[in-house]
Structure 1
Amino acid sequence: MRIVFRTDASTEIGNGHLARCLTLAHQLQSKGCEILFICRELPGHRAALIKKQGFQLELLKTDKSDESKQTQVTTECLPAHSPWLGCLWQQDAQQTLTRLSNQPCDWLVVDHYALDKQWQAHVKTGYHKLLVIDDLADREHLADILVDASPGRQAAHYKALVPEHCTLLCGPNFSLLRGEFSGFKRPAYQSNNPIKLLIAMGGVDKDNVSAWLLKEINQMQPPPNIASIEVLLSESAIHLARVKSQTELMTIKTELVVEPSSIAERLAHADLCIGAPGGSALERCAMALPSLLITTAENQRHNAMELTKAKAALSLGCFKTLNPQQFKEQLLTISTAPDTLNQLAGCAVQLCDGHGVKRVLQALFQAECQVRAATAMDKDLLYRWQTAPGVRDYSRTPEPPSYQTHCQWFEKVLADNERSLLILELSDDAVGMLRFDRQQEGWEISILIAPEHQGKGLARTALDWAKQSQFTPIFAEVHPDNLVSQQLFSRAGFKRLSENQFKYTQPQQDPR
């Protein structure tokens, strides 16, 4: 599949939108997808980072003479964040469409507060399906899939903003976090131990909150119970030099870390983070790292409120109105309160498990998959799959069949009314087989995914399709040593009947 991302990074936008798109892009690339980024050349853009991570990039330039020719649109029709685009939406849409016109993409992924259904409709001939990543629920989209991982976000918030067919993936369990943030087990905080403080006010930190925090901490009397401080910033941080100067004045051991190779490693070594309630707040939740939240933008207020409501963080309010004395008192209190830190950590990790990318990929591939009846034209294809190395390791008949035996079996299955042989397709390419054999109480399922398409979550996609089909109840026999398949059926909602037997029955419909 060909996947195109339209997102931006800048001193105004920050790096968060690009960061989560890069996370999704890496996972899609690992599944064999072709990736292209389309970004605008804004102040603080991260073109070098995109290329460094191995992705193709088309960088859009803003031509002021062309912009002046565009039809002016009243502000009532524009998204609230339209100035972030750096040009009129019509100009951006036409430039994007030009990049897509030669070869329309299978999926266009849009992560941009300044773009809505008007832009999406203008570029529609350049994509087959649309995945939107959002946090605001403040404008309409033409999305086939919409992802909003904000805490407290519900599908109902988007029902009037997307088409009826749109799949809505809402809440922190769909957060697009890198794999490094999942599976971490933080030890309990011990009393009287000085804490290690992390300051993470976003990669750009355009308001220079980091330097302000360091200055206030340095003036605290009595000093807080802090052993060391780390400050995280990106290379595009506006006030990098000023933060560096402030770190050199600190009485507490302080280090400025620019573009760390592993943010998760930094979070793992910290006991408390002072950070913004943007997307990085969910990284801290997944790592069970307590946070003091400082809001620096209007679009962060929702996250701050919901994280506080979930008792996963404490909010200090908006930076512009933050009282220095209030901040110092709060930091002094929490730095000597291990029970509070442990409670915050426990609530935070329950909010986000770090596996959101897997769930989004599953939805994307499921939306792209279709099932059709097998025909005589599939005979040789299935033989190639059936005889591939390793495919029959856990089969009832481990020995690969001869071609003659396979042909006889294939023709017999197609002619049997008590059996159904189906082909799973991804973007019109055959990627797997499902077979249903009639039993006394239902249907036995067999699944085979083409060797070159394994590892993409397609077996789960096939099972999800089967659960909604007429072939229920479904029975499955899985070799006890085939742990991957055992987990697959368990996680798909199948009930274990014995060491190697599973069953799925569709839930009863509420008569109301």
Structure 2
Amino acid sequence: MRLLLRADGNARIGLGHVMRLLALAEILRPDFPEQLFLIREPDAALAEQLTTAGSAVQALPVRPLPEEAAYLAAQVLRPDDVLVLDGYDFRYDYQNTVRGAVHRLVYLDDLHAYPLAADLVLNPAGGLTMADYELRQPGARLLSGPAYAPLRAAFQTKPAENNAAAAAPDAATVFVCLGGADPTHQTRRVAAELLALPGVRHVHAVVGGAYQGWETLQTWAAGQPGLTLHRQLAAPELAALMRRCGAAVCSASTVSYEYCAAGGGLLLLLPTAANQHDLDHYLRAAGLARPYTAAANILTSSEAGRIATEMQAAQRRVFDGQAPTRLRQELRALLLPPPPFALRPATAADSAQLLTWTNEPAVRRFSFNPEPVAAADHERWFAARLADENARLLLARDAATGHSAGLIRFAVEGDTATLSYLLDANFRGRGLAPLLLLAGTRQLLTQFPGVRRVLGHVQTANAASVHAFERAGFRLQPLANEADSLTFGWLGAG
């Protein structure tokens, strides 16, 4: 199965779309080793960067988008491909044309401004819901917020790593990046304004390889003793520089998320394009950033250090370094068909059916307690579960026959839920187990938004169940299990 990524980038429009897809490709490479970027007339430097990162590149000629979509559908795309689009011109008609030629379609969006035909929509801005979108593909899903933001590995700092480097941010050292291309040429103006503030000791200004006017910027910077210019830094170098700067002025784009995720500090936002509205609004509303217009007041205040420390703590709570795991589990789950059943809560009338399932020999064989369950013990257990507000028992009702197909149950303790499941003998061997795991987990996370992980324990010898967890997107956990058991986990965004 191939992962195809369609975006464009150059000095005029910037490279944000391409770099965002490059980060996603890096994250998904373990599951999609064959990756192909589709780009209109990429320049040599960009093509080399993509191929060096492990992706093939196919140059597309400039042609009307309806013609391009028809060409891709007829000549390039395969029925088992996953296609990812990132760009404002790939609207409904384009999406609808290519959607019929691939297995799944993913769209990275910043605008929620027009109908979409994608199976999965990914918007890094937080605070959005399905009500903000018109998704026309049946069963389409929305992933929004930093929990699903595709960032390069260098910026995915884990909480433990943040705690190990707990030095207070130095707000007198300011990082500036207004997009790699900075097409509106604001880097010089912002750097000059910051250097004029008495509270600022040093400014590190960063531009990318697509920046036009580098020589002119260098000439000006030579006369600014408190300024250091950087151009086209590799991701590890950029992340290291961000960690040295306790304050930052960034466009309301991926670079602002990278700063928060790398370590964070006093983040001041300067939107440079209309499509940055949602991300700008989210970061400021969540207390993760302030507007650049407040820079002079904050950076010259005795409160700058306190504000930087508080903002850094808030950023580290939100950017937990687990977005790659969430994206991988969601893309794995995306490959599954829709479930042919509906879930409903169990009731007292289901007790006999559950006991029959529980005591079936095949179920007892792979239970951690293989002994049959006595009816009286089952009744007490079942009544207690129905009364427990932290327990959920969900029955799967087959859409075609109306028969009960299986059960998935959860026990919630704090931010962790533990599950177990079973299928009726008449419904085994149909590939329903991963669908039940996924549907049940998603319903639970809707009802318990504070749950951060869902765990399932399975006997090592139960190959079918192990495969079901893997197909559903669950990941094997590095826990201290018994020798004959494994634990799989699903990360929530709570």
Q: TM-score range by the shorter chain?
A: 0.5 to 0.7
Q: Which amino acid aligns with 1:240?
A: W
Question: How much has 1:479 moved relative to structure 2?
Answer: 7.0
Alignment of 1:393-404 (within 5 A): none
Change (3 A) 1:492 1:16: closer
Of 147, 152, 156, the residue aligned with 1:173 is 147
**Alignment partner of 1:247 is 2:221:** yes
**Alignment partner of 1:258 is 2:258:** no
Question: How much has 1:27 moved relative to structure 2?
Answer: 2.9
Q: Which residue of 2 aligns with 1:149?
A: 124
Q: Which residue of 2 aligns with 1:29?
A: 29
Q: Is the contact between residue 9 and residue 44 of structure 1 (CA under 8 Å) also seen in structure 2? A: no
Of 148, 163, 169, the residue aligned with 2:137 is 163
Q: Which amino acid aligns with 2:109?
A: D
**Alignment partner of 1:309 is 2:263:** no
* Cα deviations by residue, 1:334-375 (Å, 9 ceiling, x for unpaired): 7x6211111111222223323223212212211213699xxx
**Alignment partner of 1:362 is 2:329:** yes
Which region of structure 1 is more displaced relative to structure 2, 248-257 or 295-304? 248-257
Of 172, 186, 191, the residue aligned with 1:214 is 191
**Alignment partner of 1:118 is 2:88:** no
Counterparts of 1:483 and 1:172, CA distance in 2: 37
* Cα deviations by residue, 1:169-220 (Å, 9 ceiling, x for unpaired): 12221101123322141655659x6732111111101122111122223444
Counterparts of 2:295 and 2:44, CA distance in 1: 30
Counterparts of 1:460 and 1:339, CA distance in 2: 45
Counterparts of 2:298 and 2:212, CA distance in 1: 28
Change (3 A) 1:463 1:304: closer
Report the number of matched residues: 381
Q: Is the contact between residue 8 and residue 17 of structure 2 (CA under 8 Å) also seen in structure 1? A: yes
SS of the aligned residue for 1:292 comes to: strand
Question: How much has 1:4 moved relative to structure 2?
Answer: 0.9
Q: Which residue of 2 aligns with 1:353?
A: 320
Change (3 A) 1:355 1:17: farther
Q: Which residue of 2 aligns with 1:11?
A: 11
Q: Is the contact between residue 11 and residue 181 of structure 2 (CA under 8 Å) also seen in structure 1? A: yes
Counterparts of 1:483 and 1:201, CA distance in 2: 53
Q: Which residue of 1 aligns with 2:299?
A: 331
Q: Which residue of 1 aligns with 2:70?
A: 94
Structure 2: gaps spanning 5 or more residues: 340-367, 370-422, 434-455
Q: Which residue of 2 aligns with 1:480?
A: 481
Question: How much has 1:43 moved relative to structure 2?
Answer: 7.7
Of 178, 196, 201, the residue aligned with 2:173 is 196
* Cα deviations by residue, 1:415-441 (Å, 9 ceiling, x for unpaired): x98798647699xxxxxxxxxxxxxxx
Question: How much has 1:264 moved relative to structure 2?
Answer: 2.0
**Alignment partner of 1:106 is 2:81:** yes
SS of the aligned residue for 1:109 comes to: strand
Structure 1: gaps spanning 5 or more residues: 63-86, 318-325, 373-394, 397-415, 427-442, 466-477, 494-512
Change (3 A) 1:43 1:114: farther
Counterparts of 2:66 and 2:267, CA distance in 1: 41
Q: Is the contact between residue 449 and residue 458 of structure 1 (CA under 8 Å) also seen in structure 2? A: no
* Cα deviations by residue, 1:27-46 (Å, 9 ceiling, x for unpaired): 33223531111011268982
Q: Is the contact between residue 3 and residue 81 of structure 2 (CA under 8 Å) also seen in structure 1? A: yes
Question: How much has 1:483 moved relative to structure 2?
Answer: 12
Q: How does the TM-score come out when normalised to structure 1?
A: 0.65
Q: Is the contact between residue 326 and residue 492 of structure 2 (CA under 8 Å) also seen in structure 1? A: no
Counterparts of 2:85 and 2:175, CA distance in 1: 31
Change (3 A) 1:418 1:16: same
Question: How much has 1:143 moved relative to structure 2?
Answer: 1.0
SS of the aligned residue for 2:37 comes to: strand
Q: Which amino acid aligns with 1:332?
A: T
Change (3 A) 1:360 1:482: farther
Q: Is the contact between residue 211 and residue 243 of structure 1 (CA under 8 Å) also seen in structure 2? A: yes
Change (3 A) 1:298 1:490: closer
Q: Which residue of 2 aligns with 1:402?
A: none
Q: Which amino acid aligns with 1:345?
A: Q
Q: Which residue of 2 aligns with 1:340?
A: 307
Q: Percent identity?
A: 20
Q: Which amino acid aligns with 1:311?
A: G
Q: Which residue of 2 aligns with 1:471?
A: none
Q: Is the contact between residue 230 and residue 257 of structure 1 (CA under 8 Å) also seen in structure 2? A: no
Q: Is the contact between residue 246 and residue 264 of structure 2 (CA under 8 Å) also seen in structure 1? A: no
SS of the aligned residue for 2:151 comes to: coil
Alignment of 1:425-444 (within 5 A): none
**Alignment partner of 1:267 is 2:233:** no
SS of the aligned residue for 1:92 comes to: helix
Counterparts of 2:182 and 2:190, CA distance in 1: 12
Of 291, 302, 308, the residue aligned with 2:267 is 291
Q: Is the contact between residue 169 and residue 360 of structure 1 (CA under 8 Å) also seen in structure 2? A: no
Counterparts of 2:52 and 2:38, CA distance in 1: 15
Q: Which residue of 2 aligns with 1:47?
A: 47
Change (3 A) 1:258 1:370: closer
Change (3 A) 1:224 1:444: closer
Q: Is the contact between residue 130 and residue 144 of structure 1 (CA under 8 Å) also seen in structure 2? A: yes
Counterparts of 1:59 and 1:484, CA distance in 2: 48
Counterparts of 1:54 and 1:249, CA distance in 2: 41
Q: Is the contact between residue 151 and residue 303 of structure 1 (CA under 8 Å) also seen in structure 2? A: yes
Counterparts of 2:228 and 2:271, CA distance in 1: 23
Q: How does the TM-score come out when normalised to structure 2?
A: 0.67
Q: Which residue of 1 aligns with 2:276?
A: 300
Counterparts of 1:444 and 1:261, CA distance in 2: 37
